[in-house]
Amino acid sequence: MGVTDGSDTSAPFTPICPECTFRQDRHETAGHQYILLELGYELPAHDLPADQLWVVRADGKAVNLAGLDSPEGARYRIPHRLICPCGEPPPDNMPALKALWDYNSGLAACFHPPAAEAG
């Protein structure tokens, strides 16, 4: 991750996630790193982690507005790594992200459901 903006220094040079192979929007950040943002989805601030409030400026650069007041009705882009089906599912207290992760999980070959607990 980027030191200050939450971007991913390992973001690929293409808009394809190397884990799940889904196409994403790849944007350079103001910190000259890159981030993959989910295509076609935006969420209000209360549905995202407080440190992941991404917008794309008119010049195409992605900026994380974490720590700033969110205007009424503002919607933010979703970092793909939060809902990549090859990663860990979002926590239960993030139902919108969890629903998107579940949806993506149904589309990806990499999805491995958690093993049932022995009991």
- Does 67 map to a domain? yes
- Does 18 map to a domain? no
The model's confidence at residue 58, banded by pLDDT at 50, 70 and 90, is very high
Calpha distance 47→53 (Å, rounded):
10
pLDDT digits (tens, 9 = 90+) for 71-81: 999 999 999 99
- Does 11 map to a domain? no
Predicted pLDDT at 11? 55
Q: List all residues 6 or more positions away from 27 whose beta carbon is below 8 Å from its beta carbon.
A: 34, 35, 37, 56, 60, 61, 62
- Does 96 map to a domain? no
**Range of 43's domain?**
25-80
Predicted pLDDT at 30? 84
Q: List all residues 6 or more positions away from 12 whose beta carbon is below 8 Å from its beta carbon.
A: 18, 26, 36
What would the DSSP string read from start to end of 43-93?
Answer: EEGGGS-TT--EEE-TTS-EEE-TTSPPPTT-EEEEEGGGT-TTSPPPPTT
Predicted pLDDT at 2? 36
- Does 70 map to a domain? yes
pLDDT digits (tens, 9 = 90+) for 87-104: 999 999 999 999 999 999
- Per-residue pLDDT, averaged over 22-37, amounts to 91
- Does 85 map to a domain? no
- How many domains, in total, are found in the chain? 1
- Does 20 map to a domain? no
- Does 88 map to a domain? no
